[in-house]
Structure 1
Amino acid sequence: MQDLLEKIIQENRKYTEKGNLATYIPELTKANKNDLAICVIDIENNVYKAGDYEKKFTIQSVSKPITLALALIDNGKENVFAKVGMEPSGDPFNSIMKLETVKPSIPYNPMINAGAIVITSMIKGKDNDEKLERMLNFFRSLSCNPTLNINEDVYNSEKRTGDRNRAIAYLLKSEGIIDGDVEEILDLYFKQCSIEVTVEDLARMGANLATYGFDMLHRQRIIPEDIARTVKTFMVTCGMYDASGEFAINVGIPSKSGVGGGIMSSVPKKMGIGVFGPALDKKGNSIAGIRVLKDISKQLSLSIF
């Protein structure tokens, strides 16, 4: 496995030149676009890493399936999916269009920004501090990393420039889809996206989803099995933005990407995979990271289809 990962990283590093860093969050432009890394953790807890695996980056939209799991634990499926749909949108992740043209104005799914903001608004807690602490502890448990925390520079950068997300959130508020103070909800959402991770953290979260929410390292259940199944289904249908169908055909692994360059993948009953490559394609996915996943899926016959 180690030799395979090193070979795949070496063969795909050239594709980083074809992508671009995310510019709408200024702090993300400080990344090295040539970075590329992978970590694989199987359900026997074997860990394999290759490339720039020590680099830290912010989780961004890879956080969405994890926060969805917490919201489902807090509220139940019926309440959550009364406010967020279950279908692919076919639109960019930050699109507002369907909120205005389709009635009722509930977001199509929890993996686009509109849906994720609704999900974040449903996290339980007496105030934002308690909600953030519960959220962080959930991410720490799922990643088996008690040191996970917020990258304050990225958080402040997102908060300063998050006008499109503000537009989405205020539209959702006007339609009665979210309750509470919009700025407080957005503050929590920006912090959620600014959690700093490594590829090993993503691989561990993917591995714990691969075992349907059971932490094999500490022998404890973190997520109910039916919720883990729901989360992975969204990763298949909506996890790679409006490139999810193409990704399902070419790679076939439940995955979620983020504009920080991370991708978390979960191969049911086999392994979790974390990939990092901050150079993005036009859809907002890691351009070399997708090729890395395509190669490992082909080499190890990992497609679930």
Structure 2
Amino acid sequence: MPEILGATGLVVELGARRGLLRHRAGMRAVDGVDLSIAQGETFGIVGESGCGKTTLARALLGLQRESSGEIRLEGRTVSGLEPRAARRVRDAVQYVHQDPGAALDPWWRVGATLAEGLAIHGVTDRAEQRARIAETLAAVGLDAAMTDRYPHELSGGQQRRIGLARILLLRPKVVILDEPTAGLDLSVQAAVLRLLRDLRARFGLTYVFISHDLSVVRRVCDRVAVMYLGRVVEHGSAATIFAEPRHPYTRALIAAAPHLDGRESGPSLPGDPPSLRAIPPGCRFHPRCAAAAETCTRREPVLEEAGLAHAVACLRWRDLAPETPGRDAA
């Protein structure tokens, strides 16, 4: 399938200050990321908190200005703009909040919130608004009477559906989903995931799926990028990433993930990721990696092919014997 959203050499600095006489460098929350997301796929982005997943999503969306690099949408370069202008040219990309309840005004009924989004995007006719809202609510499995409720009257699953409806009303092509199943019971998670699958097929959507839950990523994503300290350290098909992880960080994440079948998880990663202001030299992961060698402290790895449509940034991936996912490999 053709690329619908992509990035090359994308860098996002946070906290940089530029003045006439003084310049303060920022922290590189995203550092040289390359992505190519195909039309109609579900592309997963995983990693620990603070790895740059959400900042990357905000840059792709246009809410966070990139410091350098290129962003492409449907074959057009859309980078290099101020956030307000960037959002206008990227209105085909929309974002579903991690906490949809917090994104709803507690003083507004659901119908008023949904109508506001349409009005902002130029749909001001009340009859057309009501028709589109009723159609979209039906698509996400909710009754039109839901428009009379306030956010506090909705369950977690209903809030997720309203969040999806709010975005689908704008007829996007790419939807960024930030932890779409976080905080939900397993039965509600399953219902939300089925809904996402059905909506993707019905509306021809492309998903960027940000999640800590590797069991969900494994089930729903076509391809996966693994991030650590602002960089993609491994990417490939979900089947390959989970069956043959090559980077020690990817292996450790998979090993530490909880299992629904009762098997014990591996140990958690040792320590915490270092500060973005004090990134270690060489491989960024080497202070926490049991497989690190002396060369890892000096040389910075780059992504290289590790198989068909599979790339890894590790100096020692060829030396590390393949291990079965689920065992500690860090």
Normalised-by-shorter TM-score class: under 0.3
What TM-score do you get using the length of structure 2 for normalisation?
A: 0.23
Higher relative contact order (CA 8 A, sep 6+): 1
Superposition TM-score, scaled by structure 1 size: 0.24
Higher strand content, 1 or 2: 2
Larger Rg: 2
Structure whose residues are more often helix by fraction = 1
